[in-house]
């Protein structure tokens, strides 16, 4: 099986850790050549530390590059209210053994892509600041990028405003740059990620694996339950299900047949109350050429099975 060469740009974050679990459990499918950290769920200091700590813990051997501190034109807004002050809820991982790369994220991404004999795929599960900076500063990389699989955006309804999802809201200008780049983009927005959930009983099956890693994974994802109890804007079944938003960006590359979506023209609002809203032209009223493959449905049962399998793989590897 030919491995897909990928760069992961992430802001760990609870569901980012679960995304990394899926990516590094499937070594037969993915050749992860670089992990870069963006500022989003928490500050750059914390996201980079968390990526190094988590990946050190699961035994990954990968370069981890530090990304940009702030969005392109906005002040950084973090989500410590959702992910906890550390970004990992109440779960702690040992101090990292993996170092911070000597190369900053944009340089590391550029050099990794240009050195590859194959086109590369970028998996982005946070604000698109690093990716946009790469494309602005080095447009010569565009022909060497196969696609960008991004968790972000929403066609209907947001979680930061009435119309904007968090990752798009934090840096809408970066989304605009990526969507206009001409590179194929797959958008795992809230429309699909809200369907990619794990029930309490399914989470208990993760705990039942009986390893330290499975226990940590369980306590990571169930931290969301405590968060939602004190959040005034409850989602449907907030106390019964756990959303694995970021996992979708990797799961689509691993098992694309589990998802349904369509090619659409998508714009992003940059200012005002609608800032960060991703406006999806499902009916082609604009007459503009599609620039994003927008996912809207997932086979949830198979999604959960694949994720639980990944936890078992990492658990076995750590024995």
Q: Which residues are known to be catalytic?
A: 245
Q: Are 101 and 64 in contact (CB under 8 A)?
A: yes
Distance CA(240)–CA(189), nearest Å, equals: 21
Nearest CA-CA partner of 147 in 182, 199, 175, 172: 182
Tell me if 159 sits within 8 A of 165, measured CB to CB. Answer: yes
Task: Specify whether the CB–CB gap between 44 and 17 falls below 8 A.
Answer: no
Ramachandran sector of residue 287 (left: φ over 0; alpha: ψ -120 to 50; beta: rest): left
In Å, how far are 34, 49, 59, 84 from 94, measured between CA atoms?
Answer: 21, 11, 12, 17
b/e per residue, 39-62, with b = 16+ CB within 10 A?
Answer: bbbbbbebbbbbbbbbbbbbebeb
């Amino acid at each position: 099986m030919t491995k897909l060469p990928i760069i992961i740009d992430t802001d760990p974050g609870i569901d980012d850790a679960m995304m990394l679990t899926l990516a590094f459990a499937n070594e037969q499918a993915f050749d992860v050549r670089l992990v870069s950290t963006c500022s989003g769920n928490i500050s750059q200091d914390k996201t980079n530390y968390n990526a190094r700590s988590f990946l050190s813990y699961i035994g990954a051997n990968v370069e981890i590059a530090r990304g940009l501190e702030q969005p392109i034109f906005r002040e950084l807004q973090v989500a410590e209210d959702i992910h906890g002050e550390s970004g990992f809820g109440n779960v702690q991982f040992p101090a990292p053994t993996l170092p911070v790369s000597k190369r900053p994220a944009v340089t590391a991404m550029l050099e990794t892509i240009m050195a590859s004999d194959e086109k590369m795929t970028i998996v982005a599960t946070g604000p698109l600041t690093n990716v946009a900076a790469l494309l602005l500063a080095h447009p010569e990389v565009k022909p060497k990028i196969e696609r960008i699989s991004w968790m972000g955006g929403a066609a209907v309804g947001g979680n930061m405003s009435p119309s904007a999802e968090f990752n798009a809201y934090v840096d809408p200008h970066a989304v605009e740059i990526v969507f206009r780049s001409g590179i194929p983009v797959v958008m795992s927005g809230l429309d699909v990620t809200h369907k990619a959930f794990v029930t309490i009983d399914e989470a208990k099956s993760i705990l039942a694996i009986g390893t330290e890693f499975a226990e940590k994974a369980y306590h990571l994802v169930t931290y969301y339950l405590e968060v939602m109890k004190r959040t005034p804007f409850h989602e449907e079944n907030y106390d019964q299900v756990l959303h694995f938003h970021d996992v979708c960006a990797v799961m689509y590359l691993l098992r694309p047949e589990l998802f349904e979506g369509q090619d659409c023209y998508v714009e992003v609002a940059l200012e005002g109350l609608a800032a960060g809203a991703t406006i999806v032209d499902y009916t082609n009223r604009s007459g503009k050429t599609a620039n994003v493959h927008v996912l809207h449905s997932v086979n949830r049962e198979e999604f959960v099975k694949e994720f639980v399998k990944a936890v078992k793989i990492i658990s076995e590897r750590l024995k």
